Structure 1
Amino acid sequence: MSRCWGAGSCGQLGLGPAAAAAAVSCRPGPALREAACGERHTLLLRPGGTVWACGDNDRGQLGRRPPPARSYAPEQVQALEAQIITRVSCGKEHSLVVSNEGKVFSWGAGSEGQLGTGEFKEQSFIPKKIDVLLNHRVLQVTCGHYHSLALTQDGRVFSWGQNSHGQLGLGKEFPSQASPQQVASLNGIPLAQVAAGGAHSFALSLSGVVYGWGRNSARQLGLNQANTKEQVFKPWSVAALKSIGVIYISCGDEHTAVLTQDGSVFTFGDNSAGQLGYHFSAVKTGPQKVEGIDGPVSHLACGSYHTLVYISASGQLMSFGRGPQRPAENETTNSQGVQVESVDISSLVSANDLCGIGVKMIFAGAYVSFISILQSQSPEHASGISFMDELPKISKIDRTRIEKWLGVTSTNNELQEAKRSAQGASPFDVDLQKARDVFDELTKMDWIANTISCCLREHLIPSLPLHSVHQEAMSIFLLLPECPIMHAAENLESLVLHLAKAIHSMSDRSSDLLEKCWLSLSASCLDNMVQLFKKAVVSQLKWYYTYPFCQNAKPLLEVLKKLYRANKKAKSTLQLSNFYIPEISSIVNLQEDVARWRRWQATANSAGDDNTLVTFCCFPFVFNLVSKIQVFRTDSVLLQQGAKVIAQNIIIQNQLLRNSDLPDFPIFPLEVNRNNLVEDTLRKLCLVEDSTLKKQLMVAFKGEIGLDAGGVTIEFFLTLFEEMVHPDYGLFMYCETTSPMWFPTSPSIEKKKYYLFGILCGLALFNGVIAYIPFPLAVFKKLLDVKPSLEDLKELSAVIGKSMQAILDDEHDDIEENLQLNFCISWDNKDIDLIPNGSSIAVTSKNKRDFINKYIDYIFNKSVEVVYEEFKRGFYKVLDKDIVRFFHPEELMEVTIGNTNYDWNKFEENAEYHGIYTPSHPTIKMFWEVFHDLLLEEKKGFLLFLTGSDRIPILGMNCIRIKFCFNGALSEDHFPQAQTCFQILFLPPYSDKEILKEKLFIALRNNRGFGK
């Protein structure tokens, strides 16, 4: 059964001719499941799936040929007699229905293409199937005045008809469409509902996000005040509705109402007749909650200019807006049948009209309204059935479905049915942990795993939303890596590679949206994604030397690059080592990779060019520390060898031409005076050409016999830097006794020396020499364009750093009185205003963070800008910044100056023995007993004696391998001798421990100089 009321002047109430003469109060009607109302006609869906129509038929909207021109009583649409109809919808003068098979039929006015039949036909009297949608199972249809929308089972939205206001959501460049077109902007968003108003449209996602488009002249889209467009041609997310939990949308001609999970109603748009639920004279913008509703609303429907809400708990039906007013008992209807407008049409339904009636659904049209009535009054039906329960939805996974699938065996008759339902299912929740658990549970069944794999490969990945502007569409990119199928070795190429290609080909805006999603991920979810693409890269390493297959690694590496960038923006949720791929150095020849990289740089190609070979140097974040050092050393050696090859070729060419000219010297020879080392070195550096700096450095001390195989160069830098960084030299300042050195604000030494010091630091690194330069980490951060922090201030000055931390941690509001600080500091014997007139501006709880930031900026940047830039210019005069940037600041620091992480037991374990010596030789046993009894400074002195440096390389003690050798010319009367270039110790065959100890100590006290 049903009830209806309103103005049925054209018979659209279906109550006969008598009901068309005036407004009708609530009256009984036939049983119906659903009603849809156009401007002057109505479709009634009966419980058996038949469609009946009444009202005006001058455009064929009743689904039959005239005469008569209108029908005052419902008549069945005979053309649909063989169909079981599940949904009906009406536009202004056209009609749509959906069958139980998901097919769509249309009829009525079609001049704007709203019938979807491919023609702009004035009218169609007989329902016709929309052929374009035959390959899609349609769940919902909805009509605006002159346009139509459909939602399919796989979550796609199609639109057709008039597009003069953008109501199709296709874009401004699209005219009206006579055939359904997919709304690409909504791809990938799991939707619960589509709704249409006069010339505007909405889609509601399963998570409650509302998307609107079309006409916005009355602000019926609910967009924020900044968006004053009167026409929106593509779906926009309605920000004002994001957090209120929308579960249903209904549209009037130029207004919209939404229902939330807690039963609240929000309205927006045209309020000229009070249809928003408050007086039309009130000025309000954006979605507003309708006040004065007694209880949570369970049902909602919009007519053209009125709104209905039903409160199931109290059985109360409320309405607001414009409609025909029922004449009072002492009044008569206007002789001409003119309808008198009113802002309150609730007078047509009294409280007694619905007393004891269980309302199932409510429907509103132009000036008419319908309700369907529950046949059963059992307790479970007492509150009616919600719109959401009645709306057909796209498939989704729930516990019932999971249990059903897991209960199916390979011999069960339900297997095929379960497979069909699995192919239609689509997880949508972005609770990634829950998704991971469900995937793990499901993929234990082989048939489910195979079905998922097939669906991913053939359907889902090829149709990923690559150009969506909606963040919700990005959910699928977060869900896929949680599926164990993706991580299987056999799917790394067929699934993960294609997923990476899809992500790499996304539009810039979609890519930015996905990156924002990554920023919000937990560490475990982000790492799961990183490990997936890393495994896929490893699977492609076998093709490194084979073109074009080697290019498959590129999109995988590009996606890892995006993830790496997102991780850095998220302030390193993951350790940077999580991105390392150690397999690269064991499978790929890094010398070849460096050469490829340099060739690519020389040709100025982009990293993504399809015609270039893959090179991992374009993605240095995948290198572990061992690989980075290997790449850096390889690049330096290639440059040094390149100079030698060029010189050799010139010599050969000149010999052929009988030319006696010699090429430039292929090495960088540097002879210096030990007694005047600093000034002699700096003077000679000023005379060196830039190209010479990138050649192999060969150092010689005047008057000393020593062929430089590395050891002389090591001692050169050791001795040189010891003098230059000493406080007495004046090049650097020391804030505190134990603090690292820093650049002075007012240097007493000429600026050029900082440039030359930078060159010397670059030369040491370029030639593989570890030299102790007591810089703080902040210097290496600045060299890599990383901003120094409060932690760096603590390293430079523990006193100041701790004070700043205390200020930052102080949560009291009276910090100004307690500290009595202002924006003026004392640094390097000078008072400095951090801001204009800083000495008169106090530090407060509100501006203390700004004070600390400006303090740090002054010390590390502004105060030393001139001298630091000179140092940096010299440093990068020798080194290529592109390859230095492979390192993180901490890594660059240790590569440059080494560390003091001594492991003396490891030092002994790594020892090599030659000649007469073995680990059990008496002299060797005595040596290690003496060595382990030494003090730390004495052990460091021995390291200096053996290697030329008392620092440990960044890769640790494994890089230091002492080699014990026997020299027959040496006796107990001789001292131990060392070849620092090769870490060889010539140890005489001492027979007494005390003699060994005495001779060793004397050697350590004379551990400088070559052949003096």
Structure 2
Amino acid sequence: MLCWGELGAGIQHKPGSQTGDVLTGQRIQHVCSRDGVTVFVLGNGKVYTRVRGRKRKTEPGLFPHFKQQKIHFAASGTSHILFLSQAGTVYQSEVKSKDTATATKEFPIMKPQLLKSLSEKNIIQVGCGNNHSLALSKEGQLFAWGQNTCGQLGIDTNGASQPVPQCVTSLTGMPVAQITAGGEHSFALSLSGAVFGWGRNDRGQLGLKDTEDRHKPNYVKLLECKKTIHISCGEEHTAVLTKDGLVYTFGAGSYGQLGHNSTKDEIKPRLVGYLFGKRVSQIACGSDHTLVFVASSGEIYSFGRGENGQLGNRETSDQLVPLPVNITDTPDKNGTENGLTTKPAVKRIFAGGNQSFAERNDEVGLVPSVNPSALNTLKKIMTLDSLLEKEMDKNTTKAIVRAFSSSQNLSGSFLDVSKDGHFNTNGEVSGLDMSAVYLGFVKLVKNSSVLEKVKNAVEDKLIPSLPQSPACVETLRVYIILPELIAVLTDSATLTDSLNKAILSLQESYFKILECWWSTMPYYFFMRLVRSYQKESKQLLQITMVDTSKDNTKLLASLKILQALYKVNPSRHQKISEINFHIPVMKMFKNSLMACAQKLFPTNTQTIINEIQQQLIPYPCIFDFETKLEVLSLETKTLRNKNSQPALRLAVSRDRIVQDALCGLTLNRSAGYFAALQVQFIGESCVGHGVSQEFFTLFSQELHSNGQIFHCSQYSELLWFPRKEPERGDGFHLVGILCGLAVSNGFICNFHFPLALYKKLLHVQPTLEDLKELSLTGEKLQKLLDCEDEDVEDIYSLQFSVAEETADGQRVDHELIPGGSRIAVQKHNRKQYVDAYVDYKLNTSVKDQFEAFSQGFRSSLSVPVVNIFHPEELRAVIHGNTEYEWELLEQNAKYNGYTQTDTTVRNFWKVFESLKEKKKKRFLTFLSGSERIPAGGIRGFRITILNLRRNEPDSFYPCAYTCHMTLDLPNYSSIEILEEKLLHAIKFSEEFNAVPPQYL
């Protein structure tokens, strides 16, 4: 063991063998030193101590109090020393001050006392500050006690000291790899490199970008994803080592202990640039100096305070940059040597107080590549995946159950160690190896008795311990791992329910992190997770419908998580099909009603099922499009029956469709706009669904052509809100009402609105793709994004502003961001410009106009069921469909007075099949009032062919009863006559550009 600095009888300015003959040849496990007291822990479990100033005992002496116990580790503060036994028990010795010890001539280290409160905790690591202590259990629990004036215990006690170890609950669930303490500050390091600090921070020693003390562990964000593997603390400074061999320091720098060629303090972690090119493997901090070890060269570097020779440079001056410690055999000024004959190979370094130590390696050239203390910690933390690799004997079984009882152990298992993937754990990546999770549970399921014990441990101990607001995101790994356990259980209902409650009790910010992890989960595991919740939701829904008195809390919890999974699916690199989320809700309802009717259930069963259906509306992931349409129809009918309002009647002239419709809506403001709509053309007696449908067809045509309310894009021929107010100020509101009436009454109206409008109605943010659909500007912006040229500013000459023309013809520039007219669009900020431009065009510039439209739409559709649709689906509901599957029209047809094999029927379909596409569309207009078909497609478009004039063949034209989608087809004597009559009816319809009144 090489030593230098403030040693037993004096000061040693260069490395030398000053531990005395008693330790020669001994394997030293650990060394700690503080305030003149040094403790040596040997590999055989014995403890030796040395005290500064005891002239008659300059070499270490055996500490006599551990005859039965073997000590593994020791940590020292200014007033106490902790001893950790190999069995995991902790002993504490008080240290008398130098003055007191000298006056009483007593040995300053008092007899160790067992810390009984930790005797059953199986402690694997301890740390000491000046007057506070830390201990880490094998289960991952962190304990703290002692002085708390600056919050160094991590428990908010208003500065009160704690004589008995207290659990630092804010780190519950975090897989802690290392704990360490400085003067009055503390740190904890997770298995994946997350760093948390607390306590005194007046010199920036916590690395949190300020100098405010912290009374609870705070995440050091600036060290995120740095692959931190070890932390060492001085009195008021901190050093951090990464797996890549980089060293960051922060805190007090008055002696140069940060190594930045400066005496300034650093409040943020700063890379020690003077070590560039040297892969550091170990770090150690004394009170005001720092040591680093480079394994590849075997060199030790020191920097900081040198007053007591602790830098080993034969000087007593401070050192502001890392310089190598000369450990070769060279004579000193007096001609004496340090007793070494060759340059020793270094195995480990230690520092404490004003002392430095280097342990020599017995085998020259064998040096560890990473900090041994970090390796020892990782070995002691028995992760579940390593346990599952073993044969399951009695001890292994107990360890597995114990691991499943602790969220710390579970969240530290199954890490993605390939290419250090787990070090990248953050709010977007879980750091888990899902294949390892799967293989682990495959092994676990082979032992049913162990599996049952594991299930009980998770349900009774682990889940109840999960925090709602975890300090470390690594704790959330439990929520990714446990569904894989549930997947291999035969009876998992209660466990699933407990897990669901825990997930849904997470604070919103942590639930969003979980959603991000779901979005990056491998395809197979995400698919399995979705199917699991879909299956569970279906089963719970079935139970609820069979017994409507049952509490449906479990069902709603399962649906909430299924809906959350559905929400993240579009953002996944590999999306799964939406069919995996669907549940045949309507079919289940119908079966349930039939079962209730057969069992003579109470008459209010239908009402109860309707209430259940209402509760399902917030979870649209379970509905396919056909079910959504059915639910919409059922909801609007239910609403009308509940309110019992008369139909909303509009009388319009064919010459003034838009004007008369808006005036009619204005006059009916007192009526409920969600009522049934009935339109009648002035001067015509016909009413019914077909007439109202014809009205919507004509209304959309006039709205598109007159340009009095909306602006029609020459590029896309789609309608959008103009910046100028229309002649009728409430036009947007009234058109919104009509749009809602179309939905609630099942009418088709091709308003020629872009998808962006329906996104906004459903609170979905429009994107550049929506601007592309509406305007040529969208394509230009895409070219700007795709431009590979560096000179974007010169090519496009754009600023963060938009030129608009006012009502009086003046040109005005609107800034997209504050000061945008003075900010040029360049390659680095073009995405920001495009996003801001799209937001301005589709949101900001039309805010008032859209709000008026939206309020009108919602006022005439006062049912929340509209929110279950996607924007594309809602547009299809209103605009109708143009995907014609003509063969289905014949397949779905019904007959009254005819059969499918009658000659007239067969001839009719022959004539229809021979028509060109345009003629077929006009026939649809003749039949239904619109050439567009309902959103569900033509398979739901059922035509009924009947014969009301059997005794008068050839005398009449076909007659359409559009209110019932019915065609009165006379019994024509020949196919030629049938073709002539049908084409005449279609031609007549074309001339009117609508359904002729006499055919209604």
TM-score (norm 1): 0.80
In the alignment, is residue 781 of structure 1 matched against residue 781 of structure 2?
no
User: Quick one: which amino acid aligns to residue 232 of structure 1?
Assistant: R
The corresponding residue for 2:305 is 322
Query: Paired residue for 1:366?
Result: 353
- SS of the aligned residue for 2:433 comes to helix
1:733–1:741 contact (8 Å) kept in structure 2: yes
1:625 maps to 2:604: no
How far does residue 933 in structure 1 lie from its aligned partner after superposition?
1.0
| 1:372-419 per-position Cα deviation (integer Å, ceiling 9, x unaligned) | 444444x655879733333354535598766x44xx4xxxxx533443
CA distance in 2: counterparts of 1:839 and 1:190, whole angstroms: 47
Counterpart check, 1:82 vs 2:68: yes
The reply on whether 1:539 has 2:526 as its aligned counterpart is no
Amino acid at match of 2:34: G
TM-aligned CA deviation for residue 153 of structure 1: 1.6
1:26 to 14, 17, 20: 17
CA distance in 1, matches of 2:324, 2:924: 101
Any idea what the Cα deviations from partners look like across 1:413-440, whole Å, max 9, x if unmatched? x533443454446415256796221233
Please say if residues 190 and 428 of structure 1, whose CA atoms lie closer than 8 Å, have aligned partners that are also in contact: no
Aligned partner (choices 696, 711, 725) of residue 717 of structure 1: 696
Give the 3-state SS of the residue equivalent to 1:974 in structure 2.
coil
Matched, 1:925 2:906: yes
Residue matched to 1:444: 442
Residues 1:970 and 1:171: Cα distance change in structure 2 (over 3 Å): farther
1:760 to 2:738 alignment: yes
Number of residue pairs matched?
A: 919
The residue number in structure 2 matching 1:252 is 234
> 1:762 and 1:232, CA in 2 relative to 1: closer, same or farther beyond 3 A?
same
Question: CA distance change for structure 1 residues 512 and 917 in 2, over 3 Å: closer, same or farther?
Answer: closer
SS of the equivalent of 1:437 reads helix
Give, in whole Å, the separation in 2 of the partners of 1:643 and 1:775.
Answer: 31
Match of 1:894 in 2: 876
Partner of 2:219: 237
Q: What is the CA-CA distance between 1:902 and the residue it aligns to?
A: 0.6
1:732-743 matched pairs, under 5 angstroms: 732-736=710-714, 739-743=717-721
Cα distance, 1:159–1:306 mapped onto 2, change above 3 Å: same
Matches within 5 A, 1:804-843: 804-813=781-790, 823-824=802-803, 832-835=811-814
Contact 1:167–1:201 (CA under 8 A) maintained in structure 2? yes
CA contact (8 A) 1:705 1:1011 kept: no
* 1:372 to 1:854, Cα distance in 2 relative to 1, 3 A: closer
- 2:997 aligned partner: 1009
Letter in 1 for 2:328: A
Q: Deviations over 1:927-964 (max 9, x none)?
A: 22211111111111221222232212111112112223
Structure 1 window deviating more from structure 2 (964-973 vs 937-946): it is 964-973
- Are residues 394 and 924 of structure 1, via their aligned partners in 2, closer, same or farther at CA, if it must alter by over 3 Å? farther
Structure 1 residue 200: Cα displacement: 0.9
**1:245 to 1:639, Cα distance in 2 relative to 1, 3 A:** closer
Q: Secondary structure at the match of 1:885?
A: helix
Is the contact made by 2:71 and 2:84 (CA closer than 8 Å) also made in structure 1? Answer: yes
Assess if the C-alpha contact under 8 Å between 1:551 and 1:613 holds in 2: no
Q: 1:35 aligns with which of 31, 36, 42?
A: 31
Residue deviations 1:650-704, cap 9 Å, x none?
Answer: xxxxxxxxxxxxxxx6333445565765555444333224334232234445665
- 2-structure distance, mates of 1:259, 1:970: 99
1:594–1:635 CA contact under 8 A, matched in 2: no
Separation (CA, whole Å) in 2 of partners of 1:618 and 1:1008: 43
- 1:607 aligns with none
Offset at 1:499? 2.0
1-structure distance, mates of 2:885, 2:12: 101
CA contact (8 A) 2:84 2:125 kept: yes
In 2, the alpha carbon distance for the partners of 1:301 and 1:701 equals: 91
Q: 2: distance between equivalents of 1:820 and 1:306?
A: 56
> Which residue identity is paired with 2:436?
V
Give, in whole Å, the separation in 2 of the partners of 1:110 and 1:688: 92
1:93 to 64, 69, 79: 79
Amino acid at match of 2:749: A
CA deviation map 1:288-318 (0-9, x unaligned) = 4445559433333222233333334443334
Deviations 1:832-863 (A, max 9, x none): 43437999989854576677667656654566
Alpha-carbon distance, 1:977 to partner: 2.7
Which residue number corresponds to residue 202 of structure 1?
Answer: 187
In structure 2, do the counterparts of structure 1 residues 89 and 946 end up closer, same or farther at CA, with 3 Å as the change threshold?
same
Consecutive unaligned residues in structure 1, runs of 5 or more: 14-18, 58-67, 112-122, 332-339, 409-413, 600-611, 645-664
Q: Which amino acid aligns with 2:69?
A: Q
Q: 1:201 to 1:616 in 2, by over 3 A?
A: same
Q: CA deviation at 1:541?
A: 1.5
Query: Counterpart of 1:606?
Result: none
Is the Cα–Cα contact under 8 Å of residues 581 and 621 in structure 2 kept in the other structure? yes
The aligned amino acid for 1:551 is T
Matches of 1:304 and 1:842 in 2, distance apart?
50
Judge conservation of contact 2:295–2:369 (CA < 8 Å) in 1. Answer: yes
Q: What are the Cα deviations for residues 546-565 of structure 1, in whole angstroms up to 9, with x where unaligned?
A: 45631112333344455556
User: CA separation in 2, counterparts of 1:276 and 1:863?
Assistant: 54
- Tell me how far apart the structure 2 counterparts of residues 858 and 217 of structure 1 sit (CA, whole Å): 46
Quick check: 1:435–1:479 contact (8 Å CA) kept in 2?
no
Quote the Cα distance in structure 1 between the aligned partners of 2:808 and 2:820.
16
Q: Is the CA contact 1:40–1:93 (under 8 Å) kept in the aligned structure 2?
A: no
Is the 8 Å Cα contact of residues 636 and 863 (structure 2) preserved in structure 1?
Answer: no
Q: Is the 8 A contact 2:32 2:74 kept in 1?
A: yes
The reply on whether 1:389 has 2:371 as its aligned counterpart is: no
Shift of 1:203: 1.2
- SS of residue paired to 2:78: coil
Q: Which runs of structure 2 are paired with 1:552-951 in the superposition (5 Å)? A: 552-563=554-565, 574=575, 577=578, 580-588=581-589, 615-644=615-644, 666-670=646-650, 679-701=659-681, 704=684, 706=686, 708=688, 710-722=689-701, 724-725=702-703, 727-728=705-706, 730-736=708-714, 739-746=717-724, 749-797=727-775, 799-813=776-790, 823-824=802-803, 832-835=811-814, 845=826, 856=838, 860=842, 868-880=850-862, 882-918=864-900, 920-951=901-932
The one-letter amino acid paired with 1:534 is: Q
AA in 1 matched with 2:964 = F
2:956 maps to 1:974: yes
Q: Using the alignment, how far apart are the partners of 1:392 and 1:813 within structure 2?
A: 48
Q: For the residues of structure 1 that align with 2:635 and 2:498, how far apart are their CA atoms?
A: 34
Question: Does the Cα contact within 8 Å between 1:152 and 1:394 map onto a contact in 2?
Answer: no
Q: What amino acid sits opposite 2:885 in the alignment?
A: D
Change (3 A) 1:301 1:617: same
**Is contact 1:153–1:393 with CA below 8 Å preserved after alignment?**
no
Provide TM-score, normalisation by structure 2.
0.81
Distance 1:840 1:468 in 2: 44
**Residues 110 and 138 of structure 1: CA distance in aligned 2, closer, same or farther (over 3 Å):** farther
Query: Which of these residues, 216, 222, 226, is aligned with residue 207 of structure 2?
Result: 222
Q: Helix, strand or coil: the match of 2:814?
A: coil
Aligned residue number for residue 7 of structure 1: 6
When the two chains are superposed, the root-mean-square deviation of aligned CA atoms in Å is 4.3
List gaps (5 residues or longer) in structure 2: 98-107, 330-337, 404-408, 422-429, 594-603, 990-994
Give the counterpart of 1:104 among 78, 90, 94. 90
Q: What is the CA–CA distance in structure 2 between the aligned matches of 1:858 and 1:392, rounded to whole Å? A: 54
Corresponding position: 1:306 with 2:289: yes
- Structure 1 range deviating more: 896-905 or 359-368: 359-368
How far residue 903 of structure 1 moved from its aligned partner, in angstroms, is 0.6
Deviation of the 1:71 alpha carbon? 7.0
AA of the residue aligned to 2:459: R
Q: Does the CA contact (< 8 Å) of 1:358 and 1:382 recur in 2?
A: no
> In the superposition, relative to structure 1, how do residues 828 and 232 fare at CA in structure 2: closer, same or farther (>3 Å)?
same
Listed one character per residue, the Cα deviations across residues 850-878 of structure 1 (whole Å, up to 9, x for unaligned) are 77667656654566566555444433331
- 1:877–1:199 CA distance, 2 compared to 1 (3 A): same
Is this contact kept in 2: 1:469–1:509, CA < 8 A?
no
User: Which stretch of the first structure deviates more once superposed, 485-494 or 176-185?
Assistant: 485-494
CA contact (8 A) 2:898 2:945 kept: no
Q: Which moved more, 1:255-264 or 1:590-599?
A: 590-599
The letter for the 1-side match of 2:235 is D
Residues 766, 879 of structure 1: 8 Å contact kept = yes
